[in-house]
Structure 1
Amino acid sequence: MKRFFLSSAAVALACGVAACASTGSGSGASQPTESETSVILQDPAGLWGSKEQGQPWLELSADGKVAGSDGCNRINGTWSGSEELEFGALASTKMYCEGVDDWLSRAATAKLEEGNKMLVLDANGEELGTLAYGGSNS
């Protein structure tokens, strides 16, 4: 009887672990629906990128302010627009961090693309990089 109980418990545990593993998307984030993408393109306020240490990110506030980081240096300034954004007077600290690319501090404009990506461009219109939508402001 004891052996039956232990075998049953082991099978139940294995099934539970398998069920949990199969419900994840693999990337930890779900893909936005078409209506969510449409809303983001109309109102881009929110987090773009990831606030994990060493990662570039921008947070666009509804009042036209932007704050962020290139992964090392803090970035502050203003933004305007909807699908095509303009950044005004971005200021950045100038610390040296080995292995961090400061591309985001050179942002002048950006274009929002389907699939919730922000294509960041410099003053000459050259592509600097992309940021994924990370969520709305809280």
Structure 2
Amino acid sequence: MLLHRRMRGMAAVAAVVLMLAGCAGTPSGNAVVGRWGSTASGKPNLNIESDGTFSGSDGCNTLNGKGLIDGDQITFGPIASSLMACDNVDTWLSKAATGNVKGSTMTVLDDGGSTIGTLARSGS
């Protein structure tokens, strides 16, 4: 009898946990996590991890740092960058302050809130 009560209690707890997990929907940040842009020479790209850590290139310089993910947005923390000079490369990504994801496109804004570029999702 006691074992039966414990099993019912554990089943109730499991049901509540599953119900709450179902209410959560898609885990926060999944829209942002992944690879963005192109790894072709001179093209910007980012790889964003679930903890907000990011790395990539502005098309010339390597970039890395850690941001804060909130749903479909990332607020980039300070961006560490190499300082190479490259001809005919627009290094707009190094000026990123936030990135907003809608579908398979990340719109990147500077610290003034102006759109400075977009990155397409490039894989998992």
Alignment match, 1:83? 72
Task: Sort the Cα spacing of 1:75 and 1:126 in 2 relative to 1 into closer, same or farther, 3 A.
Answer: same
Note the residue ranges of structure 2 that are not aligned, 5 or more in a row: 1-25
> CA separation in 1, counterparts of 2:63 and 2:82?
7
TM-score, reference length from structure 2: 0.73
What RMSD in Å do the two structures reach over aligned CA positions?
A: 1.9
Name the SS for the 2:67 alignment partner: strand
Alignment match, 2:90? 101
Displaced runs of 4 or more, over 4 A: 39-42
Note the residue ranges of structure 1 that are not aligned, 5 or more in a row: 1-38
> CA separation in 2, counterparts of 1:94 and 1:132?
25
Equivalent residue pairs, number? 98
Task: Sort the Cα spacing of 1:42 and 1:66 in 2 relative to 1 into closer, same or farther, 3 A.
Answer: closer
Alignment match, 1:126? 114
Output the amino acid matched with 1:84: Q
Alignment match, 1:46? 34
**8 Å contact from structure 1 (residues 60, 79) kept in 2:** no
> CA separation in 1, counterparts of 2:119 and 2:45?
7
TM-score, reference length from structure 1: 0.66
CA shift digits 1:9-68 (9 cap, x unpaired)? xxxxxxxxxxxxxxxxxxxxxxxxxxxxxx698502110001111110010012321001
> CA separation in 2, counterparts of 1:95 and 1:83?
31
Name the SS for the 1:94 alignment partner: coil
> CA separation in 2, counterparts of 1:56 and 1:124?
20
The residue correspondences of 1:1-138 to structure 2 (distance < 5 A) are 42-43=29-30, 44-81=32-69, 82-114=71-103, 116-136=104-124
